[in-house]
Each structure stands twice: as structure tokens, then as C-alpha cells.
Structure 1
């Protein structure tokens, strides 16, 4: 006798063993990795995308694929043992000439997980040098409990021509439908009966209606686009609703989408630099857009995120209950060892297991990170926090998921957070298993975690007690060692002080913003009143017999308005740096005020002279005395107002100091008599002395954090040092340094990208140029009109790149005399399209054309390109767009002026600062580098609004010689 296998046994081994959608996808991706794929893809083509009449789901990999023999002898044979033996292959054609990989699969049934994704299915696979293989199947056929495996036909065909796959596809469907030809088995019993008759018709109907619509067909043809193509693709015609819902913005389905995303995004171990480097994407093709589901919510963890951990643990469990490693608490790193006092048994030895874990504080004021750093890591922890398990750098599900707290962190924390400290959702990191080191820690057949055997129980016991002991040693409310608590209090105190400072700064910002908003109205009111008084004064002075008493009030009011004039401009707080928008508004206000003063001053002076002519010396003396007293009064008023504020604040501080000091003293002395009376033994004296000493130092420490620093600060105050300005300057420097650091990081990446692009362009140009040359030898091709266009357009593109290429190689260039005319012609070529598009007039003087500049040619080209490029941007909205190049022989200065936006006076120097830019998405690098490059050539550049140079009233730059 021999075993016979019912068809539904395969269904139970496949779909029946898969816990959920992420597990099914993961199993197929693992098979792709085992086939030496570098890219693993899942694609949902949603109904309506490019005219699709229904939704499709595709899983694909660019692995080695399979030949017809491979499909028959391996893929259709369940439980193949090549993976479970973990034998390394040799580098060869079978590894795509890549380094041999340790297999991720082991049971030989992972391929059946495709049944979980929906039905029916078309599998396509191709090995290099072999034709495409196609298999069509509907896994629901296996649900018929009357069928044996021997009764089922699985259609397979070799597709000789990929473009004719539609024909082969229909043949496969017909072959599959032959499974329904027989109605009775050998015992003359009906094969389909009862409720399964409905299933039969569903399968037949879905097969008949399955079509390779044009977008899907194009996707297949692009995947297998040559004889050298290779890889495997599973096309599911009716994907399950869970897959389709991933593309829907349904609030009720958000958690489901997050569950799938968080389960797939950490497919391989991202925490290790030596981890597997393969690309896994889950593309959603919907309406007119395509996006990657795995990156839409944000990036997953990476190794550098451990640098942002407030607590960092790295070490190794030895398999017998001992942990040996390091512990970093904020910025302090120490060695840490722990041994679980459990009974040792050889049967529970689980092998060496490394662990690396970061832990993030839940609130910002308890963390040592900056605001940006804290937000970055908190966002990731919020989305993906958990302790992950990887075997041979592949994720073991469900570990890492929100509901997979297998060490029960949250259960313990809910009982007593002050004792157990660690929260599963605040941690991120991994436990690293391998088949070689940990052969007894195996997956359940259902792929729902590790088997609960003796080795698993021993490991979880060791890990659980390790975290309990660690919390008691450092992190509990009353720990054995105070390292964490002391540092936490220090950080919290610092952050509280910074928050208080920010709150005070916020009040000043609000006041300054309010002043900016009210300034225009105040100036209008001032101007209206001032001009009205001047008109009245003018009329009065026209009278022949004018007396002082008739104009006394007017002169008094004008003086008051004169004194108020400068006070109209909002005072800039010194504790923070205003925004660029606020600076811009302030600059415009100052311009408006200065224009107002310039326009009204001549008339004021004219009327003063007129008054002097009309009034007697006695009257003028009285008026002068009044003005004198007015200045004295104004000064006294300002001084007295600030003195009153000083008196009030001083009184308030002294009162608060006394109240706090009294409270601290009372805390120490209030129980003095009761304590002394309660002493009845020598032992109590020692005990109470220790308690009083502790209380004293606690209160003294509190005074040292609150009262004493204020007094020390007041002692340091001096009329000769503006503390507000000093603090504001340091804060401004800090903000600038922080901004520059962030930009420098981006710029470094940009520089690397430029080098790569430069290299790739050179290779690409050489290939295209060579291919065009070969095509041009063919008279038939050469005669085609479009080929001529292609050749000329490529030549033009090549010329544009040639203009740029010298800029990448400045270091090797030689200093030479470059005529201005050469620069002018270069700019005409470089900006040819922009000059034509924006109707720009590039004016150049004869003096500039004949002037020689001794410099490296790429340097001077780069300088002019940066300046002209900026000019084109700022001239876009101007009616006249003129760029002028000139040279003044006498001061020996080159002028580059334009008719665009004028640079405000306060920005004239700032435009050369690194990373300073007013252009949207501008990096603020060009002018900085231009100045640096010119300085190296003993030249300098500056911006000016001097009308001597800035004849076009826009931006104007002057290049001159540096004088020693």
C-alpha cells in the first residue's frame, strides 16, 4: 500500500499555513532572494488605472528564474530539501555570478503562499538562455475534497515569443478547464457535489473572464524584454479585498494598511551595515499616480538611528543565561554584564544571540536630543517601534509588530512603570538569529513566530529577566545606581530653563510682530498730523504782523512729533533673530520713514528760516529754551520709565527670593522640636542626623538650582555689557551653525551625486556617440529626416554638457589672461535659451570686451554663471530685462548689473554668506563659492546700491583687485 494525497492537503500546506497577507508576500519575496534577486516587487494595479476594467496584483523578482525542467522537478515538487540543508552554492550561472547566499526558505512550501493572494493565477518565469515558462492555475480547485493530486492537471507551456503570450495564455486556460471534463470518479461518484458545485462554476467563470489587459500585458513585456531577461512573476487576476483596500483612503482601514506596511518595510535587517542589500517595493498604481506603499508613511529605521537613542544596549546572550555587552545612558557608556540565575540544562541551550537596541524617551524635555533629532526618531518610533527578530538578516514575523510583545514589556509596565521602565513601543532594535548558531529556534509551520520549545523558553526567560534587572539597576524610581536619574534630572532642568526662555522670547516676538503690524497706521497718522501743522504754520507765517503766541502751540507740537519720529520704527528684540520676512518688512518701513523725512525736512527747514525772519530774538530764544527742555524731559521720561520697571522687578525678585528662602528654611526647621523630643536612644540620634543631613543637602541643592544662580547672574550684570545682545548674538550664531550643518550634509550628498552623474554622463555620451556614428554609416538610416534631427539635438546637448564639464575640473586648470569678450561669448552660448525665452538684453561695453582678467578660466566662468543665473530669476517679472557688463579702468573694477530686484542694503553683505538664499529652494552656495574662488585669485566681489555702479537700479556686483 502507498499513501495517496488528497488535493486539499496542498491547500492546507499552502494557504492554510499562512497567517496573514504580509506573511504570504514575505514568503514569496524570500523565494526571490533565494533565487539571487536584487529587486523584489509587489504591484497593485487598481481598477481604472490606464483604463483597467478590474484590479490585478503582481509579485515579481529579478532572480535567476526557472527553465521548464526546473518548474517540473523543483517548483511543482513540494518539500524540496535543498534549502533546509543550508548548503552554500558555488558562484556560477546558478547564482547569477553573485556571492552565494544562505537560503531564507527552508520547508519547500513557501511558494504555495501565492494561493493566499487571490485567484486565478498566472506564473511566468524565465531563466537566462531559456524560453519563458507560463503556468496557469486556480488554487480553489484544491478545495474539492473529492479530488486527489493525481486527478489534477496543472497547465504549463513554453512561450517561444513573449509578444505572443496572449495566444499561449488562452491555451493555458483551455488546458486548465479540462480539469472539469470529468464529472464522475472511478467509483462513479460525482466529483463536484453539494455546495462545491457553486465553487466549480465560480472557478470556470473566473478563468473564462481572465484577460491580459493592455497595461498588464505591457508590464509583462517590459519585464521580459530580451533574451537575457530573467526572473519570476506571479499575476493574480482577482486579488483579495485586503490587497485592494491598501489603495483606499478609508479611515476605518488605516490600521490595516499600517499593519501591512509595518510588517513588510523591515523585510531585511536595516540596523546592520553588513545586512543584505536588496530593494523591496510595494507599488500602488491608482488613477494617474504610482507610489510606494512602504515609503509613503516615512522611512524605516537605519543603523545611524542608534545614535539618537537616549538609552542604547548592545551585547550578546551566550545561550546559557549570561549577557555581556555595553550600555549607553544618554552620553555615558559603561560595560554591563548579567547572568540569569536559572537552572542550566544542555537541552535548553539556544546558542549565541546578539542584541542591539535603542530606547527613546517619551517626551522631549526628558531627552538629550535637539528638537529636530527628537522629532525624527519619535516619528519612526511612533510608526515602527518594537523589538524585531531577524534570522540570517531576514525578518521573522510577527516580531516587531505592535501586538508582538513576546517579552511582555507592556504587561510588566502596566503593573508598575516606576519599577519596570521599558516600554515595547518606545524601543527599536533587533535580535539576530542564524540557522548555524541557533538551529533549535525554528519558525512555526504557520509562520506565526518561533516554536515554543525548551530553547525558546530559556531564551525568553533570560531576555525577560535581563530587562527586569537592567531596569532595577538604573531606571527604576529608586534604582541601585543613580546614573540615569541624575542625568535625567539635569536634562529636565536644562529643558525647563530653555522652555521658560522660549516663552519669554515668544512674548517679545509677539510684541515685535504687533509693532510691525501697527507701524504703517502710526506713520500715516504722524505724517498727516505733521503735514497739517506745517501747512498751518506756513499760513500763519504769511501774516505780516505775526506774534510768537500765535505759532507757539504749533512749534511745540512739531517738536513733539520730531521726538516721536525715530520711535516709530519697531525696536528689534536682541534675544532672537527676526525672520527674513520681518527683516524685509522692517527694511521697507525704514525706507518709507527715511523717504518721508527726506521729503519733509526741506520744508521744515524752510519754515524754520521763515519763522526766524518773522519772529523777534526774544521769541526765538523762548522757543529754543522750550526745545532744550523738551529734549531734557524726553530723556528723563525714558530713564524714569526704565528705572520704575527696574524698581518693580527688583522688588518682585527680592520678595520672591525671601519667600522661597523662607520656605526652604521652614522645611528644614519645622520638625526640629518634635524630632528632638522623640529621641530616646543613641541609635536614633545617628539615624535622625543622617536624615537631617540628607534633607539639608536636598534643600541646598534646590537653592543651588533656583535662588543662587539668579544672584550670580545679577552679580555678573554690568552697564558696560549688554547681556540681552550677547545672548541674542550667541543664539543667532547657534541657529546659523545648526542650519549650516544641516545644509552641509545635503551639499555633501549633492557633491557626491554630481561626481557620479559626471562619470555616468561621460560613459553615456561615449556610448550614444558611438551608436550614432554606426547608424550614420547606414545610408538608409542616414536619409531619414528624424535621424538628422536626433543627431543635431544630441550634438546640441553634448555642447551644453561640454560648457559645464570644465567647471568640474577647476583644480587642474591653469591661470591665463582671459579677455572679457571671451566671457561674453561664453555667456551668450550658455544662456542662449533663457536669453531668448525671457527677451533679455545682454549689454557689454568695449572696455569690458578688451579688459584682460588673469585667472583660471573655469573659475571666472563659474562666477559669471552664478550671477547671471540669479539675475535671470529676479528679472522674470520685470518689463525690461537688461544685464550690463562694464569695466571702469580708473578704479579697475568690473561691473555686473541687472534690472531685476534691488538687493536691500542690509542684505548686501549677507548674500555672500554660505547657505543664505532668498530664492525658493535655493541653497545659497553660488555667491559664497564665487567669492571664495575670486579671493584665491587675489580678487574680490561685493554687492552695491551705489548709483555710480548700479545704473539699472537692480542687483549690482563689482569685482575688483584685493589691495594689500
Structure 2
């Protein structure tokens, strides 16, 4: 006789399917977040609370569940609703586009058992009551009871407060699963449970357990551990949303508990915390231009403080990728052919195509399918990088938080790819063999592989939900990407690439040339300036005195109409003009130190001399035209001849000086040549006196060749540098100007180096303040959101919210002094900037009687960036303009856009020419009580995103007579 016998399911099956399948806490959280995504949530958050017991909550505003949903779906393992053709009811998408389901086995909800042994789930569906269930996952560890014998308490509540008061009523049903209850309706079940727990407890005692599982379950549920503090983090409880789910976990495991345990510390705790940040950061694909509307956060609540650990905007995304000097962005098709844009050393090389040596399978169960791919990086050595110093430092800091190539499926991250220890593309292994040729580094790269469940069905999750099954499709994808990276490194980026060998020397030369030249000229330049001021101050004073005298003489001559005096005036005027050039001051170094007052005095007096000579020229011309006996045409021709003769005399003197110096230079380099010609002989002379035999001849020949190679390389560097210098002179390049600029940069760096200790302390302070600010700002924002709708409709609430946002923007202006996260960029228009300034300074403009003008050209501009980065820059510039404009009679501040540049101008006194080079230095200010921080922060803020700011130079547009600042926005558009 054949009997039909069914599988018998023990309770611990749930334990195996849930806790036993999860790798770590971050993976468990990500599984539960994916459930929220499948429920069409717009927001999901993990909250970790201190207290006894410690509690964590995952809350969302998704579709939520009714009583029937909870019983027929959430409490059904492997539900068919994950297979879409069995789900006859169209999903409620809450107004969102249809989402590709992330869950496929119907067991993801069991991940919660890994995080804590106790769970209370509450949910609400639109138009339905609240529903709650309590679970103790330790019930499913007992191998002596059947799954059907465990009953979980489920109850409905009409209001949030009714739910808060009614949750303790769930405990009796939950405790009844331990047996020995008064359930007279099912005495047989109670007998089985009592017997099963007695057997399991006896087994645990024999194993030396200090407390049995049954005892721990009883201790956990003496009373309901949840309070209003925990429920208030769920928007539905606060009536801010009409639907959603909250899952509360009690008695947290170590990986979550360390966040709220003050006595937990050490390397292991740091590693646990870093792992959670690394895993949950970038949960949504930040490199996609079409990101789903799904925000996520992690908060830690200790006492009265709330710390934000992870946020959806704290990512390195598509904008950041496009800011990198090296990146590749495109897609692989079914045949493995890659088509995409390649940018190397900041140069757009256009759309390139890569065809693999062997295409992946295109049919059958192992078909890989097409997928998108993006990766970017930068030169680790700033001297070789096309990025400026500020931008390079910013990108370098981002690698600590966001470096690595992640993998996303349908826009959500697949763990563990992208973590520091998950170099599944083998970049570091290849670099260990040849770092230059292989180029790509895992922790210095940013990027992602983007696959889809429909397009890549063979890429399946492992049972533990961390990583993809190592099947043929996965291996084909990995090999395909690796071979592409190797090919790209050799063609465009690595040491074997032609473009690197072509471009890199120019980059390094541009960055090193001025610095090297300045080192050689620095001493001579400072000494020369001091000597010049010492020797020329008295002649300048004498020339100024003579010029003043001649101006007076010219006036007297016109008044008396004295022709003889006019002749004397003309001769003396020619004499004083001829000595003016020798008094012209050289370009000063950036740091004048003790010479500053003397230099400024000399510069101002020289300008006075030029003004006097200009006045004298006008008067002498008037004298000649009035008193001269010659015809007007003859006067003009004579004046032209005199001026030409003066210029020719000046050129003759310069030419003689050049010839003299070239003669000295020829002598110097002839001496170099004669000395260098004998260098090999001096080095290798001893070999001719040695006992040379057939056996040692090869060694001696190698010695001579080695010396020749070394000397040849030295001479090449020495003489080519000289020839290059002469070529630059022939091309008209101003080497003295190059020396001056480089020395200014060098002096500026030395000055900053002396201040760096103080700045470092400021940075530490700002880091601490910034951390506290982020905590307090999040707490204020969250508590404002919790206010009832009646309060939110008041003007007081609107004012408080506006003030809070304004304060947050201003304090975030300090972000360059701390390691700030990447935030999503958005389109900013000139009109938005203008309106923001108008509102911010409205009372100031009125009280100071300042006319604020914004042109239509400025209003029409647009560019992409973070508002909290851009608006404070304008606030600082306008604030400075208000100060200086208030010192003027005419008071105007104007914003304009000309020649692709934004101009911020005022009608104040302007900036002293000697101060222009130092305007953006830290701590430099000419304002009374000014701190010299605002313009520095403005430059650093803008530089991080590739924008540039400067004071208007000679070729820049100027719209007012005072200060004119130029902002060159990257990617600016003026189309309106």
C-alpha cells in the first residue's frame, strides 16, 4: 500500500529562511528598504533608539496593509504576489510610475529577525484602520514544535492613540505560544507547546545555557516596550501620511546596538559602523539621470540628540562624475559591444566603441543581456592633474566615502558591490602587477554597473541576499567589464596610452614651470625692488618737484604770452619726459612685508608724476598752438618728430642692453660647453689606465656607456631648458611676468602654510560645530514636520520654517572647512538668485538708500549646482558691496551677465590695485573689523564645483566704477 505523506514543517524553518540567510545587519536593512520600495514608498528611514530595551524602527509611507493584507500576505511565506501574473489586483502606485519589484522569494521580511529577536509591526492602508502584529522570532528556534502551533497576535485600531494604548493587549496571545496557558479552546495545542518548550529548555540547560529561550521570551514581553517616542518617527502616526508601515525591532543585535551604546568602542565597533554607512550610502543609483522618487535616511537617537548617519543626498553622483578629468559613460549591448563617451585629462574624446574579442551568450538561460556602465577617476598626483588644487582636494576627500564601483538593479543597490572589500572587478590585483599600465584603482574610482531584472534575468541573487550567484552570466559580465577597463586603460588613461604621453608633460610643465622659474628669480627680484626704491625715491621726488614747477611755468607763460619763456618751457618739458621711464616702478612681489608702506608711497607719487606730466603736455600743446610762430602743420610735424626721436632713443638703449647681455650670455654658455665637453673624459679616464682583458672588456664598455647615458640625459635637460627659454623669448612670452606670477603664488602658499595650524584648529572647530549643527538642524526640521496641520497653516510656522532654512543655508556655507558630503545639484537661475538677494537685503537696501539693479541678461542665466553653495556666495559679495557702497555718494549695486560672465558690481571706491592679488586669501581684509574669510570661502565653494571667481581684470567687462567681481559659472546658459 502506498501512502501519500506531506512534508511536516517545524517552526525553525522560519529561522532558517530569515535570520539564517542574512549576511549582516546592513544587508538586512537593505532588504527591508527594498520591501518599502516595492510598496511604492516615497520615503523610508531607519531609526535607532537608546533605552531599555534598545529599539530600532524602519518606517515608510508606502501603500501599507489592511488586516486582510497582513494575514494573507505578510504572514504567508513565499507569497505568490511576487509573481506578477498571479497578482490579479493592480498595484496602488500612489501616483508613482510602475516599479520593477525587487522581492522575488517572498521571504525578505524575515530579514528583520537578524536585527532583533522581537518585532512589532504596525501598518495602515488608505481608507483602512491601523493594524498591528507582534512577533518573537525566538519562538521559531525551537525544533520541537510545529509551525502551525505558533499563533501571532493581530489586531486593528481606529486611531493612533487607540493603537498606542492597545498594543499591550497583543502580549497575552504572544506569550501563549510558550504553552501552559488557559486556552481551553485548544487544549491539544497547549499540550504540544508545553511539551515542546520543556524538551527544548531541558536541552538548553544540558548545554550549559544560563537562561533558556523560553525564559528570555517571557522577560522580553512582561510589558509592551514601545512608547510614543518611537511611534512619533512614523509619519502615519503623526497624521502626516495616510498610509505606510512601521517595523519596530526590540533588543537590538550588536551591529545596530553599538550606535546607541556609549561604552561600545574600539576598532571592531568602528568597522561595524563604517560598514553600515558604506552599504546604505548610495542605496539608489546616483549615476542615473532618471532616479526613482525614493528618499532614505538613517537616524540615531541618543537621549535628546538625533544624529543623521546616512541620507539620500549624501552621494557622489552623475554631476560629480562629469566633473572628473577621466570618465567613461555608456552601455554594453547584447553582443558585449560598448558604446559611450570617453573623457581623458578633461578632454572630451567623443563617443567610442569597444568590441569584445568574444561576445557573451545571447540566447538561453545564460544570456547576459545589455547593461549600462559608468566609471570615473582622477590623477592622484595633483601636479599631473587637470583639476585645480581645491577641486582635486575635494575629489580626493570623496573617495573615502564614495569610492568604488557599485552594482544596481532597476535603480537599487545590490550588496556588497562598491564596498572597500568588494573589488569584484579585480582592479587592485591588476594594479599590483603594473599600476601605471592598468591605471584603474578600486578605491579611487567612482562608478556603477546598472542591470535590470527584465533585461538581465540570469543575474540572480544569492540565497543570503548579498551578491549575485556566480553563474555564467555573472562571470561573463565581470570578464566583459574587466577586458573593457584594460582596453580603455591602454588606449586612453594608463601609462601605455598615447594621450597620456602626449598630454601629461604639458600639464606638468604648466604647473611646474612658473614655480621653478620663480625659485631662481625670487632673491634677485626682492633685492632689486629694495635697491630700486632706495635709489629712485629721491630722483622721483625731484622729478615731481620739477613737473610741478613746469606746470606753474606753463600757466604763467600762457598768462604773459611770453614767446621766449615758451621756448624754455618746451626744452625743459622734453628733458623731464626723457627721465620718466627710468622712474617707472617694477612689478612688486605679492608679499612686500616691511616694504609695503614705502612701495605704496612710491607708487602713488609716481602716479602723481604721470598726472603732472599729462597736465604739462596739455599746457605745452596749448602754449605752442597759441604762441608758436610756426604754422600749425609744422608744429604737429615737429612734435611727432620729437616723440619719435624719444622712442628711438629708448629703443636704442634697450637694444644696447640686450646686445650687452647676449654677449655675456654667449660667454657664459661657451664656458659651460667647454666644461661639459670634458665631463665624460674626466669620469672615465681611469678605464684607459686599467688592465683591460677580454674577460673584463664588457664590464668596462658598459661602464663607459652608462656614464655617457647619464651625462647625455643631464645635458639634454640643461641645454633644452635654455633653448626652450630662448624660444619663449622669441615667441614674445614675458618670462619676468611668469616669474612674478609664480613667486606670488609661492609667497601666497608660504603665507598660508604659516597660518595652517590656526586654520587646522578652525577646521576642527568647524567640524565639531558642523556635526552639532547637522544634529540640531535635523531635530528642528523633524519636529517642525511633526506639528499638526493647524499649526503649519499659521504665519508663525511659515516664518519659523523660513528662518530655519535660511540659517541652515548660511551655516552650510562653512562646508569647505569640513569634509562635506556630495549633495544633489539642481538648476539655479539668475532670477532665483536676484529674488533671494532682494528678499535677504530688502531692509538694508532701504535703510542705506542703495539702488539694487538686476539686468534681464542676468535673470535669464541658468546653471546646475547646490543652492546652499551658490546663494551664500552672492550673500557675501552683496554684503561686501553694501559696506563699501555706503561710503560713496552714489549708491548702486548691479548684477549683469556679459560675454558668458556674471558680474557683481558696486559704485563704491573699488579695490586698491595692490590688494587685488590678495582679495581671496584667508584672513585678508581691508574692512574695519573684517575677518577676511568670506571671499576665501566663496572661492573655495565655487572651486569645488569647477566655477571660478575673480576681481575684474583689464579685459573683463565692468559695469560700475567701483568693485566689479566676475563669476565664471561652469556650464552656464543664457537662454532663459
Q: Does 1:31 pair with 2:27? A: no
Of the three residues 337, 340, 351, the one matched with 2:354 is 337
In the TM superposition, what whole-angstrom CA distance separates every residue of 1:516-572 from its partner, at most 9, and x where no partner exists?
xxxxxxxxxxxxxxxxxxxxxxxxxxxxxxxxxxxxxxxxxxxxxxxxxxxxxxx99
Q: Does 1:420 pair with 2:438? A: yes
Matches within 5 A, 1:799-814: none
CA distance in 1, matches of 2:384, 2:737: 28
C-alpha displacement of 1:264: 0.5
C-alpha displacement of 1:250: 3.9
Aligned equivalent of 2:331? 316
Of the three residues 246, 256, 277, the one matched with 1:243 is 256
Q: Does 1:41 pair with 2:32? A: no
Q: Does 1:66 pair with 2:38? A: no
Mark the CA change 1:225 to 1:256 in structure 2 (over 3 Å): closer, same or farther: closer
Mark the CA change 1:69 to 1:700 in structure 2 (over 3 Å): closer, same or farther: farther
CA distance in 1, matches of 2:675, 2:24: 65
SS at match of 1:154: coil
Aligned equivalent of 2:151? 153
Aligned equivalent of 2:466? 448
Q: Does 1:171 pair with 2:179? A: no
Q: Does 1:230 pair with 2:243? A: yes
Of the three residues 390, 393, 396, the one matched with 2:411 is 393
Aligned equivalent of 1:327? 342
Contact in 2 for aligned 1:27/1:111 (Cα 8 Å) = yes
In the TM superposition, what whole-angstrom CA distance separates every residue of 1:792-847 from its partner, at most 9, and x where no partner exists?
999xx9xxxxxxxxx999999xxxxxxxxxxxxx99x9869x99xxxxxx9x9xxx
- TM-score (structure 1 length as normaliser): 0.59
Aligned equivalent of 2:869? none
Aligned equivalent of 1:215? 229
Mark the CA change 1:435 to 1:469 in structure 2 (over 3 Å): closer, same or farther: same
Aligned equivalent of 2:672? 658
In the TM superposition, what whole-angstrom CA distance separates every residue of 1:594-640 from its partner, at most 9, and x where no partner exists?
9xxxxxxxxxxxxxxxxxxxxxxxxxxxxxxxxxxxxxxxxxxxxxx
Contact in 1 for aligned 2:117/2:250 (Cα 8 Å) = yes
C-alpha displacement of 1:269: 0.4
Aligned equivalent of 1:494? 510
CA distance in 2, matches of 1:498, 1:337: 40
CA distance in 1, matches of 2:505, 2:156: 71
Contact in 1 for aligned 2:117/2:136 (Cα 8 Å) = yes
Aligned equivalent of 1:20? 24
C-alpha displacement of 1:426: 2.1
SS at match of 2:169: helix
SS at match of 1:158: strand
CA distance in 1, matches of 2:326, 2:301: 41
- The size of the alignment, in residue pairs, is 685
Q: Does 1:457 pair with 2:503? A: no
CA distance in 2, matches of 1:730, 1:165: 70
In the TM superposition, what whole-angstrom CA distance separates every residue of 1:344-385 from its partner, at most 9, and x where no partner exists?
684443111221111222221222211122122222223322
Aligned equivalent of 1:255? 271
C-alpha displacement of 1:474: 4.9
SS at match of 2:484: helix
Mark the CA change 1:873 to 1:407 in structure 2 (over 3 Å): closer, same or farther: closer
C-alpha displacement of 1:87: 9.0
Aligned equivalent of 2:200? 192
Matches within 5 A, 1:128-139: 128-139=126-137
Mark the CA change 1:491 to 1:37 in structure 2 (over 3 Å): closer, same or farther: same
Greater Cα offset, 417-426 or 156-165:
417-426
Q: Does 1:99 pair with 2:103? A: no
SS at match of 2:401: helix
Of the three residues 278, 297, 302, the one matched with 1:281 is 297
Mark the CA change 1:790 to 1:45 in structure 2 (over 3 Å): closer, same or farther: closer
SS at match of 1:292: strand
CA distance in 1, matches of 2:719, 2:468: 54
CA distance in 2, matches of 1:504, 1:884: 44
C-alpha displacement of 1:91: 8.0
Aligned equivalent of 1:957? none
C-alpha displacement of 1:216: 2.2
SS at match of 1:95: coil
SS at match of 2:59: strand
C-alpha displacement of 1:334: 5.8
C-alpha displacement of 1:143: 0.8
Aligned equivalent of 1:561? none
Matches within 5 A, 1:50-89: 53-85=52-84
C-alpha displacement of 1:23: 0.9
Mark the CA change 1:147 to 1:808 in structure 2 (over 3 Å): closer, same or farther: same
C-alpha displacement of 1:149: 1.2
Matches within 5 A, 1:92-131: 94-131=92-129
C-alpha displacement of 1:200: 0.9
Contact in 2 for aligned 1:440/1:455 (Cα 8 Å) = yes
Mark the CA change 1:126 to 1:464 in structure 2 (over 3 Å): closer, same or farther: same
CA distance in 2, matches of 1:572, 1:126: 79
Aligned equivalent of 1:265? 281
Matches within 5 A, 1:728-747: none
C-alpha displacement of 1:341: 3.6
Mark the CA change 1:151 to 1:808 in structure 2 (over 3 Å): closer, same or farther: same
Matches within 5 A, 1:511-660: 574-576=588-590, 654=668, 658=672
In the TM superposition, what whole-angstrom CA distance separates every residue of 1:700-738 from its partner, at most 9, and x where no partner exists?
98578623222345567899x963697489989x99xxx
Mark the CA change 1:411 to 1:214 in structure 2 (over 3 Å): closer, same or farther: same
Contact in 2 for aligned 1:88/1:102 (Cα 8 Å) = no
Mark the CA change 1:401 to 1:871 in structure 2 (over 3 Å): closer, same or farther: closer
Structure 2: state its 5+ residue gaps: 181-189, 531-584, 605-656, 689-708, 750-788, 804-829, 857-874, 894-907, 940-951, 953-958, 964-976
Aligned equivalent of 1:946? none
C-alpha displacement of 1:695: 13
CA distance in 2, matches of 1:461, 1:653: 64
Contact in 2 for aligned 1:63/1:232 (Cα 8 Å) = yes
C-alpha displacement of 1:148: 1.3
CA distance in 2, matches of 1:792, 1:323: 52
C-alpha displacement of 1:104: 1.7
- TM-score (structure 2 length as normaliser): 0.58
Of the three residues 359, 371, 380, the one matched with 1:353 is 371
C-alpha displacement of 1:172: 0.7
CA distance in 1, matches of 2:888, 2:379: 59
Mark the CA change 1:200 to 1:320 in structure 2 (over 3 Å): closer, same or farther: same
CA distance in 1, matches of 2:44, 2:105: 21
Contact in 2 for aligned 1:128/1:227 (Cα 8 Å) = no
CA distance in 1, matches of 2:586, 2:88: 72
In the TM superposition, what whole-angstrom CA distance separates every residue of 1:391-435 from its partner, at most 9, and x where no partner exists?
111111111111111222222222333443322222211111111
Contact in 1 for aligned 2:82/2:106 (Cα 8 Å) = yes
C-alpha displacement of 1:99: 1.9
CA distance in 2, matches of 1:412, 1:429: 18
Aligned equivalent of 1:202? 216
Of the three residues 291, 297, 300, the one matched with 2:307 is 291
Aligned CA RMSD, in angstroms, stands at 6.0
CA distance in 2, matches of 1:419, 1:111: 46
Contact in 2 for aligned 1:137/1:176 (Cα 8 Å) = yes
SS at match of 2:390: helix
CA distance in 2, matches of 1:770, 1:424: 48
CA distance in 2, matches of 1:118, 1:203: 12
Of structures 1 and 2, the one scoring higher in RCO (CA 8 A, sep 6+) is 2
Greater Cα offset, 242-251 or 155-164:
242-251
